[in-house]
A and B are shown apart, each in its own frame.
Chain A
Amino acid sequence: MKEKVVLDLSHLPLHATGTASLTFWGTSAFMLIEGSGFALAIAVYLYLMANAPSWPLNAPPPDLLPGTILTVLLLASLVPNLLVTRWAGQRDLRKVRIGLVIMSIFGIVPLVPRIFEFPALNIRWDDNAYGSILWVMLGLHTTHILTDLADTLVLTCLMFSRHGDNLRRYGDVEDNALYWNFVVATWLPLYGCIYWIPRL
């Protein structure tokens, strides 16, 4: 088949960010997958609760302190997260480097209260189904934090390397920040489920 040239693409940029970035869409799809998973975990929690004669099952409600500290920390982390996104959009390398170091710290620090949250649940995973779903919910979210933390740490190293000042990296920073928003956002309904539903 003969060809006829009707369009010239050479003026287009070599890479774009935001909705024109493939990794933005990939990250969004991944968020949809994880979000479905979390929604299901909450559905399982509610199902088991509906089946149970009393709730929580043979245990006091989880202690509020570690979980609430963690929630506050995560919410607070949204501020530097937003700033990092903005700085990445401006392609300000110095500020992005600082921001990523801060976000790395904000990824590590919540792990401390998280470690205390598990015993604060006041039940073991193998005591009964209530214990099982609590530990799975908390475990899933912890995996979430850990994987995004690993991502943030690698990105931080990258931004300090010779590959740092590249539009692609700024796009990666924006995607990573988006995903951190998601990590915080999924925590909120889980927090409500784990700590407040038993107190209703």
Chain B
Amino acid sequence: MNSSSTAQVLDVEVEREDLEPRLRRTWQSGKGIWGALTTVDHKIIARRYIVTAFVFLALGGVLALVMRVQLAFPEARFLSADRYNQIFTTHGSNMMFLFAVPVMEAMGVYLVPLMVGTRNIAFPRLNAFSYWIFLAGGLVLWIAVALDAAPDVGWFAYVPLSGPEYGAGKRADIWAQMITFTELSALAVAVEIVVTVFKQRAPGMSLDRIPVFVWSMLVTSFLVIIAMPAIMFASSSLILDRLVGTHFYNPAEGGDVLLWQHLFWFFGHPEVYIIFLPAVGMVSAMISPFSQRPVFGYLALVIALIATGLLSFGLWVHHMFVAGLPPSGSSFFTASSMAIAIPAGTQIFCFLATLWSGRPIFKTPMLFVIGFLITFVMGGMTGVMVASVPLDTQVHDTYFVVAHFHYVLVGGAVFPLVGAIYYWFPKMTGRMMSEKLGRIVFGMIFAGFHLTFFPMHILGLAGMPRRVYTYPPELPWSGMNLFVSVSAFVLAAGFGLFFIDAIRSLRSGKVAGPNPWNCASLEWATASPPPPYNFARIPVVQSRDPLWQASSELPVATGLRVDRRELVVSSVVAAEPEARESSPADSIWPLVAALATTVMLIGSMFSAWAVVWGAVPIAIALTCWFWPKRTPEDES
């Protein structure tokens, strides 16, 4: 017979003023170090993720400044060629794999459960595991940097340069395995988000009522699920070529050099949308309260997100236009690369329509939304240019492309992200950041960014290739490079001020209530910061903008237990409640499994047998992880 406890304690059986303390006892993470190592609270894990990602941003930014010092003068000797090549490789790899994707995933991990009205993310222990794996991957890369063993083959690690013949030492293996760590982490989070969004939404929150940000995280998660296997295959086969003598990329034995590029970019192009789509979702969220109306064109925005996601798989060859592929094939990819401007444009037009028909409030997050609109649209314009094969034959692999992707990545993702930090900081910490400093930060970052990156368009057209550690004085690039280098410090100072404000505000920022910006989505219905159980009673949703529609009284549901961690499972489309489900308690096994996985992955850079031996501790850790305990959470 079922081992159900006879003593279920439902929330209705408890006095209202005892409800929250009871829930807190059930949902609270442990204290101290042990609590930190065993927590499965999505909010704690997400905050860790966000802070770690921003540390990587700062480190990557320092690398950029070091590069710009080297490039400020022609034939400078500040950095050796070897060190420069390690630095630009690490800068790119760090920014893409250790900052951009993780921070977007982390914002999703924090916000999605709150926005859909549930108490924790799906698979909370997997969530904890994914953070430790992410951290391990970052440490692998940065310890290598400290040991002068950083990868030096570019963030894209083209073969044969990264292959067994020309990639000496372990540098390329470190790059490839860092990929494995970060992909594992991202895939785990993607699975959690898909299941949270599909099955844990508050009753009544049908698919056409979920916030656009949640849609963006859902589409992004599917992109991760389908695209990341490509880079996993690529990086693993690279290690195999280097370690055990396979010939995937060896043309002398039936392999193909361009196979690497196909595999890498099949992942690499969706990767940039994995970074961009959550940012678009953030803009959709922020633009609404600061225009004092719901964002315009919900259906168009959702379709645009899905279209962008689907199309993003059909663009990858535009990174290979000069590799010598048949011209008719390349032309197809010109058409598809240009076509993706249509859903992107749709999103921009919906945002403009929101601003036009709304009443703008110029708080700091809104400034960054405006910065996004200006900068990303410019990046999109140069994107359309590089999509053209003939045009690309001149600007590919030059500073023009460096300018383009910084415009779309910084403009399209970082600006919304910084705005989002100002926006959700009160929710996450209970305090406001400084409006006054926020304006200065925006000004410095905006001006610093354009002054740094706009001249690079000209440098590229004027003949300066990329990934060069220096350039000759006879060519007319010196003045512009010096200008760019000086401007980079303005940009960096802007970020520095941002970090200072964030740290300062944690302690002494103005205390924030539940809904300081007067927003409509569910995360603003609970306290700032939210209690461990998110909502004392799960909200019942009747519109797309629950808090505006409800105005004074929020409809809620009762009937969940307070003596075990419990949340609601609902149907995929209409969010009709189907079951009460338990949410796992704190556990040390995610950390143990992560340590075992880390040992195996590091070992496998040196010997293929590490996979075999390393699998044993992992299997033991996973068994302990899943072995049921006699807790109320196991009851059914």
A–B in direct contact per CB < 8 Å: yes
Q: Which residues of A contact B (CB under 8 A)?
A: 1-16, 19-22, 25-26, 29-30, 32-34, 36-37, 40-41, 44, 47-48, 51-52, 57, 125-133, 135-136, 150, 154, 158, 163, 165-169
Interface mask (B396-435 → A, CB under 8 Å = 1, otherwise 0): 0000000000000000000000000000000000000000
Q: How far is the CA of A26 from the CA of B194 in the complex (A)?
A: 9
B579 touches A4 (CB 8 A): no
Q: How far is the CA of A6 from the CA of B541 in the complex (A)?
A: 10
Interface mask (B1-12 → A, CB under 8 Å = 1, otherwise 0): 111100000101
Q: Closest 4 A-B residue pairs measured CB to CB?
A: A10-B559, A126-B245, A9-B559, A15-B636
A36 touches B3 (CB 8 A): no
A133 touches B248 (CB 8 A): yes
A12 touches B2 (CB 8 A): no
The residue on B at minimum CB distance from A135 is: B246
Q: How far is the CA of A48 from the CA of B538 in the complex (A)?
A: 54
* A residues less than 8 Å from B101 (CB atoms): none
Q: Is B142 engaged at the interface, CB distance under 8 Å to the other chain?
A: no
Interface mask (B167-210 → A, CB under 8 Å = 1, otherwise 0): 00000000000000000000100110011001110010000000
A14 touches B636 (CB 8 A): yes
Of the candidates A4, A29, A126, the one having the most CB atoms from chain B within 10 angstroms of its own CB is: A29
Pick the contact of A48 from B259, B626, B630 — CB < 8 Å? B259
Q: Which residues of B contact A (CB under 8 A)?
A: 1-4, 10, 12, 122-123, 187, 190-191, 194-195, 198-200, 203, 225-226, 228-230, 232-233, 237, 240-241, 244-248, 250, 253-256, 259, 262-263, 514, 525, 537-538, 540, 547, 550, 552-560, 568-569, 571-572, 577-582, 619, 623, 626-628, 630, 634-636
Residues A7 and B203 in contact in the complex (CB < 8 Å), given A126-B244, A163-B628, A167-B636? yes
* B residues less than 8 Å from A30 (CB atoms): 191
Residues A167 and B191 in contact in the complex (CB < 8 Å), given A4-B554, A29-B225, A132-B240? no
A51 touches B254 (CB 8 A): yes
B558 touches A41 (CB 8 A): no
A5 touches B245 (CB 8 A): no
B555 touches A10 (CB 8 A): no
A48 touches B237 (CB 8 A): no
* Interface secondary structure of A, over-half rule: helix
B580 touches A40 (CB 8 A): no
B244 touches A14 (CB 8 A): no
The residue on A at minimum CB distance from B579 is: A16
* A residues less than 8 Å from B199 (CB atoms): 20, 22, 25
Task: With both chains docked as a complex, state the minimum distance between the C-beta of A6 and any C-beta of chain B, in angstroms.
Answer: 4
Task: With both chains docked as a complex, state the minimum distance between the C-beta of B7 and any C-beta of chain A, in angstroms.
Answer: 13
Residues A26 and B558 in contact in the complex (CB < 8 Å), given A2-B552, A51-B256? no
* A residues less than 8 Å from B254 (CB atoms): 48, 51-52, 57, 128-130
Q: What are 13 A-B pairs with beta-carbon distances under 8 A?
A: A4-B556, A5-B555, A6-B555, A6-B557, A9-B538, A14-B579, A15-B579, A22-B195, A29-B195, A41-B233, A126-B246, A127-B247, A129-B256
B525 touches A26 (CB 8 A): no
The residue on A at minimum CB distance from B249 is: A129
* Interface secondary structure of B, over-half rule: mixed
A163 touches B246 (CB 8 A): no
Task: With both chains docked as a complex, state the minimum distance between the C-beta of B629 and any C-beta of chain A, in angstroms.
Answer: 9
B634 touches A168 (CB 8 A): yes
Q: How far is the CA of A158 from the CA of B624 in the complex (A)?
A: 12
Pick the contact of B255 from A3, A13, A125, A132 — CB < 8 Å? A132
A165 touches B2 (CB 8 A): yes
Q: How far is the CA of A33 from the CA of B577 in the complex (A)?
A: 28
B233 touches A25 (CB 8 A): no
Of the candidates A21, A30, A129, the one having the most CB atoms from chain B within 10 angstroms of its own CB is: A129
Task: With both chains docked as a complex, state the minimum distance between the C-beta of A138 and any C-beta of chain B, in angstroms.
Answer: 13
Q: How far is the CA of A135 from the CA of B240 in the complex (A)?
A: 11
Residues A2 and B636 in contact in the complex (CB < 8 Å), given A40-B230, A132-B246? no
Q: How far is the CA of A27 from the CA of B628 in the complex (A)?
A: 18
Q: How far is the CA of A135 from the CA of B244 in the complex (A)?
A: 12
B540 touches A7 (CB 8 A): yes
Residues A26 and B191 in contact in the complex (CB < 8 Å), given A47-B259, A126-B245? yes
* B residues less than 8 Å from A12 (CB atoms): 559, 568, 577-580
Q: How far is the CA of A61 from the CA of B12 in the complex (A)?
A: 69
B525 touches A1 (CB 8 A): yes
| Besides the known contacts A5-B558, A14-B579, 17 further A-B residue pairs in the complex with CB atoms under 8 A apart | A6-B540, A7-B203, A9-B558, A10-B560, A12-B578, A25-B122, A26-B191, A29-B190, A29-B225, A36-B225, A40-B233, A44-B233, A126-B247, A132-B240, A133-B248, A154-B626, A165-B1
Q: How far is the CA of A13 from the CA of B636 in the complex (A)?
A: 7
* B residues less than 8 Å from A14 (CB atoms): 4, 579-582, 635-636
The residue on A at minimum CB distance from B632 is: A14
Q: How far is the CA of A127 from the CA of B246 in the complex (A)?
A: 7
Task: With both chains docked as a complex, state the minimum distance between the C-beta of B130 and any C-beta of chain A, in angstroms.
Answer: 13
Residues A48 and B256 in contact in the complex (CB < 8 Å), given A22-B581, A25-B198? yes
The residue on A at minimum CB distance from B241 is: A132
Q: How far is the CA of A125 from the CA of B195 in the complex (A)?
A: 38
Task: With both chains docked as a complex, state the minimum distance between the C-beta of A92 and any C-beta of chain B, in angstroms.
Answer: 14
* B residues less than 8 Å from A11 (CB atoms): 559
B634 touches A163 (CB 8 A): yes
Q: How far is the CA of A9 from the CA of B579 in the complex (A)?
A: 8
Task: With both chains docked as a complex, state the minimum distance between the C-beta of B187 and any C-beta of chain A, in angstroms.
Answer: 6
Task: With both chains docked as a complex, state the minimum distance between the C-beta of A127 and any C-beta of chain B, in angstroms.
Answer: 7
B634 touches A22 (CB 8 A): no
Task: With both chains docked as a complex, state the minimum distance between the C-beta of A104 and any C-beta of chain B, in angstroms.
Answer: 15
The residue on B at minimum CB distance from A32 is: B225
